[in-house]
Amino acid sequence: MERQSNLHGPALDEHMKTEGEAEPTEGLVDEARSGTPPGMTPEDVQGRSTLARFLPHSAFPGDKTQLRKAALDSDAPAEVMEAVEFLPKGRTFDNVAAVWEALGGGHEDSTHRS
């Protein structure tokens, strides 16, 4: 006789047995499922993500000087500090995506949103 859990019923036990098994995905992987937004490369996603780790929401909207201070306060690595130094003076950025775009990075293609 197979022992059942006393925390839930047999149907849930059966579901839990197969929960970790992967379903076939041949032909189903697209940009939305891959985690890379349309119009961006994996490098864009990684670069923008790195900026976001060291430029907190509270830094926005902000100009180059404010973003430099926020990056310093966040103990940003040299690569982030160098990127902030390349930002144009006299411009206010609303978010990390705007900073990334100003640095020449890709951005989501809004024509492909679902």
Contact between 54 and 74 under an 8 Å Cβ cutoff? The reply is yes
Predicted pLDDT at 112:
44
User: What is the pLDDT, as a whole number, of residue 114?
Assistant: 43
Written as six digits, the tokens of 75 are 């103990």
**pLDDT above 70: residue 86:** yes
- Joined tokens for residue 58: 């509270």
CB 68 within 8 A of CB 77: no
Q: According to the model, what pLDDT value does residue 36 have? A: 65
> Contact, 48 vs 73, CB < 8 A?
no
Confidence of residue 91 (pLDDT cuts 50, 70, 90): very high
The string of pLDDT tens digits covering residues 20-78 is 555 444 433 444 445 666 777 888 889 999 999 999 999 999 999 999 999 999 999 99
DSSP 8-class letter at 59 = G
- Classify 24 in phi/psi space as left (phi over 0), alpha (psi -120 to 50) or beta: beta
